């Protein structure tokens, strides 16, 4: 299944580039929902003219190519320029040309229920 990315609901104030951001016209080419994981030697993206993983020199769930990339290059000053937007990017927050200093991605089973969910299992 190539480690397809399945997303829950977003909450927060930095925007949701994993779902393609707020621009409906771009969502079909930017959403990472259901995208298989790509690496420089295993191209699973929808970028016809090349490989997003090769271009960004990292593995990630690429579409054409990304609005978010948490495996990108860390640029110490944050803002950067180059031939590719290959930084640690969360585009709905600071755009494609700002590299984040720290990120965390948390993964859990699709059947996850927390203690306060009212699932009846915790009293």
Give the model's pLDDT for residue 114: 63
Per the domain annotation, does 61 fall within a domain?
yes
User: What is the number of domains present in the chain?
Assistant: 1
* Domain span at 72: 1-101
Q: Whose CA is closest to 35, among 45, 43, 25?
A: 45
Per the domain annotation, does 118 fall within a domain?
no
> Domain containing 67 — which CATH number?
3.90.215.10
Per the domain annotation, does 55 fall within a domain?
yes
Whole-number percent of the chain with pLDDT over 70: 89
Per the domain annotation, does 37 fall within a domain?
yes
Whole-prediction pTM: 0.82
For 25-82, what is each residue's pLDDT tens digit?
667 788 999 999 999 999 999 999 999 999 999 999 999 998 999 999 999 999 999 8
């Amino acid at each position: 299944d190539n480690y397809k990315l399945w997303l829950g609901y977003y909450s927060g104030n930095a925007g949701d580039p994993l779902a393609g951001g707020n621009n409906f016209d771009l969502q079909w080419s930017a959403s990472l929902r259901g995208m298989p994981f790509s690496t420089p030697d295993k191209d699973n993206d929808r970028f016809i003219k090349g490989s997003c993983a090769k271009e960004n020199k990292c593995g990630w769930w690429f579409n054409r190519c990304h609005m978010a990339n948490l495996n990108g290059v860390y640029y110490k000053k944050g803002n950067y320029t180059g031939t590719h937007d290959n930084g640690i990017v969360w585009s709905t927050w600071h755009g494609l040309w700002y590299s984040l200093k720290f990120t965390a991605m948390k993964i859990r089973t699709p059947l996850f229920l927390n203690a306060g969910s009212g699932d009846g299992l915790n009293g």
